[in-house]
């Protein structure tokens, strides 16, 4: 192995840390990020979560403008 190549940490790949993050926390984080980018309040709904073997996840995400009649 050359000096520029790194060994792959298989244990790190197989431990999917995303499983320890609640879907609600992900929804809140996405809502906050989109709201800041757009300048309007948005809500996020995540469902159909499937965790992948190599520390990833596939899911359906829906982002909608939060309707507030007082605005």
Give counts: helices (H), strands (E), the chain: 2, 2
CA-to-CA distance for 70 and 49, rounded, in angstroms?
Answer: 34
Count the residues in the chain: 71
Nearest to 54 by CA among 1, 10, 24: 10
pLDDT in tens, 45-58: 999 999 988 788 99
pLDDT tens by residue, 5-25? 778 777 776 788 888 999 999
Place of tokens 């159909």: 48
């Amino acid at each position: 192995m050359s000096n520029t190549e790194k060994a792959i940490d298989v244990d790190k790949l197989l431990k999917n840390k995303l499983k320890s993050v609640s879907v609600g926390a992900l929804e809140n984080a996405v809502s906050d990020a989109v709201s800041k980018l757009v300048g309007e309040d948005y809500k996020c709904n995540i469902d159909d979560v499937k965790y992948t073997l190599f520390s990833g996840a596939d899911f359906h995400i829906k982002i909608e403008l939060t309707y507030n009649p007082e605005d």
